[in-house]
């Protein structure tokens, strides 16, 4: 018998109906060639769509070539990049999921090594592979840590160019068929590094107090919203707290979220950390199950817009409770989906939200529903004997 699950209730945002509240979080694969998606990305993202997620997010896609974290990052800085992603967006839609793209610029955390090549600043081993470093840029000419590349302080013209490139990337994402766009303003990358007083020491209108430090992101979001169709949802991912002394705080995030709401942002995706340390989101609040859910809850309550919770959501019951208790509207999973691409389908079974195996692709569901009955009979027979 089917039980009522809030996690598996659809959610309408603007003109898009999301079939359930489970989201595959953006996850860099460091496997693109000059930013272009390939078969790896199709299989990687395609299996999550087959796996029943309501939304499948692409990894961070760089809006400028020099905005990639590593040589292997996905990009969306040309029409050819959008073309390479179009088939993936189409496949995700054909599976009944909503396709989403995260638009990003890595700022001072660009030009790093892939995690499995050292996860640090580039060195001679990268050069030996033919992967040269490039000049990185940031609000202030301060590296992310000792030994890391020193960025060039961005001019006002550089900022305007980034804003334009985010908007162009949004336009291309629409043409590629994506239905949700997210501006990446978390984990110490470019927009986050403007927000945080730890990394922004500008004395012009893009630095100083919170409103000055927020200006680059607000201009970006305004440009993206204008370029992105009215009927399609816009998300912003933030590091709700830096988790470092004198850093960006939850108070700051709530104020920012109110401004973003005014600009037509639909969902704040609440992550944390990353302002100091390696290319990947490191050095933030200590992780434990659901450790970032409180941020999503606070932003939802205090800024009055929808939120997405993420971070060590490990069980179906935990995800169900987040939605049922009104802590967030959407729940994203990352590494759990790497462990089990069918995590959402298994969650539906665990919550008795899919008793007939209807949510599975029909190529699998027909067989598996019968397999389940056989297994049940066998278990009963064993119980009787
Ligand atoms: C392989 C990998 C790549 C990631 N790449 C991105 C990314 O491109 N953009 C982003 O905002 N977060 C990225 N993250 C962070 C995840 O989106 C997510 O917030 C984090 O893994 C916490 O969720 P989890 O505990 O369910 O894995 C990445 C995480 C992993 C494991």
293-303 helix and 250-262 helix, angle to the nearest 10 degrees: 50
Distance between start and end Cα atoms, the chain: 27
Q: 164-188: per-residue pLDDT in tens?
A: 999 999 999 999 999 999 999 999 9
Q: What percent of the chain has pLDDT over 90?
A: 94
**DSSP 8-state assignment for residue 60:** E
Among the residue ranges 241-255, 271-285, 308-322, the one predicted with the least confidence is 271-285
* Shortest-distance Cα residue to atom 29 of ligand 1: 27
Residue 185 lies in a domain: yes
Q: Indicate if 322 and 336 belong to the same structural domain.
A: yes
pLDDT for 278 beyond 90:
no
Q: How many domains does the chain have?
A: 2
Same domain assignment for residues 155 and 173: yes
CATH code of 155's domain? 3.20.20.70
Question: In terms of domains, do 330 and 380 share one?
Answer: no
pLDDT in tens, 34-50: 999 999 999 999 999 99
Separation of alpha carbons 274 and 16, rounded Å: 31
In a domain, residue 317? The reply is: yes
Atom of ligand 1 nearest to the CA of 186: 11
Does residue 279 contact residue 119 with C-beta atoms inside 8 Å? yes
User: Average pLDDT of 269-291?
Assistant: 78
> What pLDDT does 384 receive?
82
- 63 phi and psi angles, rounded to 5 deg: -85, -15
Residue of 30, 189, 206, 295 marked active site = 189
Active site residue 189: yes
Given a contact cutoff of 8 angstroms between Cβ atoms, the answer to whether 195 and 252 are in contact is yes
Asked if 221 and 368 sit in the same domain, the reply is no
Same domain, 174 and 306: yes
* Full-model pTM: 0.97
Average pLDDT of the residues of the chain: 96
Residues 295 and 381 in one domain: no
Structure confidence by residue, pLDDT tens digits, 73-113: 999 999 999 999 999 999 999 999 999 999 999 999 999 99
Lowest-confidence region among 119-123, 276-280, 300-304? 276-280
In a domain, 6, yes or no: no
Does residue 239 belong to any structural domain of this protein?
Answer: yes
290 and 148 within one domain = yes
Tokens standing for 320?
Answer: 């169900």
Residues 276 and 376 in one domain: no
Domain membership of residue 2 (yes or no) is no
Position 306 pLDDT exceeds 80: yes
Claim to verify: residue 248 and residue 332 sit in the same structural domain: yes
Q: Which of 23, 24, 25, 31 to mutate to test the pocket of ligand 1 (most atoms within 8 A of CB)?
A: 25
Residues 379 and 315 reside in one and the same domain = no
Q: Cα of 199 to ligand 1 centre, how many Å?
A: 22
Q: How far apart are CA 241 and CA 239, in angstroms?
A: 5
Residue 281 banded pLDDT, cuts 50, 70, 90: very low
Could you tell me if the CB of 311 is within 6 A of ligand 1? yes
Tell me, yes or no, whether 1 lies in a domain: no
**Distances 21 to 168, 172, 236, 332, 339 between C-alpha atoms, Å:** 29, 26, 17, 8, 19
pLDDT value of position 383:
85
Identify the pLDDT of residue 94.
Answer: 98
**Residues 180 and 79 occupy one common structural domain:** yes
Q: For residue 139, give its domain range.
A: 11-354
pLDDT digits (tens, 9 = 90+) for 210-233: 999 999 999 999 999 999 999 999
344 with 366, same domain?
A: no
**pLDDT tens string 137-152:** 999 999 999 999 999 9
**Tokens of residue 137, six digits:** 């840029």
Share of the chain above pLDDT 70, in %: 97
| Ligand 1 neighbour 25 (Cβ under 6 A) | yes
- Domain assignment of residue 5, yes or no: no
pLDDT in tens, 49-79: 999 999 999 999 999 999 999 999 999 999 9
Does 4 map to a domain? no
3-state secondary structure 155-222: CHHHHHHHHHHHHHHHHHHHHHCCCEEEEEECCCCHHHHHHCCCCCCCCCCCCCCHHHHHHHHHHHHH
Residues with Cβ within 8 Å of 309's Cβ and at least 6 positions away in sequence, in order, are 270, 290, 292, 293, 295, 296, 297, 322, 327, 328, 330, 331, 332
Residue 182 Cβ inside 6 Å of ligand 1? The answer reads no
User: Which own/partner pairs from 158-162 qualify as long-range (CB within 8 Å, at least 24 positions apart)?
Assistant: 159/206, 159/216, 159/219, 161/64, 162/63, 162/64, 162/67, 162/105, 162/190, 162/216, 162/220
Cα separations (Å) of 63 from 248, 257, 342? 24, 23, 30
């Amino acid at each position: 018998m089917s039980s009522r699950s809030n996690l598996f209730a659809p959610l309408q945002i603007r003109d898009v109906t999301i079939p359930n509240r489970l989201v595959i979080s953006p996850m860099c694969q460091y496997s693109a060639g000059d930013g272009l998606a390939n078969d790896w990305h199709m299989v990687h993202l395609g299996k999550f769509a087959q796996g029943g997620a309501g939304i499948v997010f692409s990894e961070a896609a760089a809006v400028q070539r020099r905005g990639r974290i590593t040589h292997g990052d996905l990009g969306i800085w040309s029409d050819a990049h959008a073309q390479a992603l179009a088939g993936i967006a189409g496949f995700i839609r054909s599976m009944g999921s909503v396709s989403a793209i995260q638009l990003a610029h890595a700022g001072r955390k660009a030009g790093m090594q892939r995690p499995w090549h050292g996860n640090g600043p580039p060195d001679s081993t990268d050069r030996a592979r033919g992967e040269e470093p490039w000049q990185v840029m940031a609000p202030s000419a301060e590296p992310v840590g000792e030994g890391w590349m020193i960025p060039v302080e961005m001019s006002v013209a550089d900022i305007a160019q980034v804003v334009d490139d985010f908007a162009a990337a949004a336009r291309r994402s629409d043409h590629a068929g994506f239905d949700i766009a997210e501006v990446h303003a978390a984990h110490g990358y470019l927009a986050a590094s403007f927000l945080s007083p730890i990394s922004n020491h500008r004395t012009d209108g893009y630095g100083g107090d919170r409103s000055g430090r927020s200006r680059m992101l607000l201009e970006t979001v305004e440009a993206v919203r204008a370029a992105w169709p009215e009927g399609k949802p816009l998300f912003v991912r933030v590091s709700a707290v830096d988790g470092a002394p004198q850093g960006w705080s939850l108070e700051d995030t709530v104020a920012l979220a109110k401004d973003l709401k005014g600009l037509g942002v639909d969902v704040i995706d609440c992550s944390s950390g990353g302002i100091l340390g390696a290319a990947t989101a490191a050095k933030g609040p200590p992780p434990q199950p659901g450790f970032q859910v409180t941020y999503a809850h606070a932003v939802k309550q205090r800024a009055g817009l929808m939120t997405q919770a993420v971070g060590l959501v490990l069980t179906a019951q935990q995800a169900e409770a987040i939605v049922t208790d009104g802590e967030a509207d959407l729940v994203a999973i990352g590494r759990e989906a790497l462990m089990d691409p069918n995590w959402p389908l298994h969650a539906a079974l665990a919550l008795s939200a899919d008793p007939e195996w209807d949510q599975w692709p029909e190529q699998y569901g027909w067989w598996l529903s019968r397999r389940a009955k056989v297994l049940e009979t066998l278990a009963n027979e064993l119980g009787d004997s």
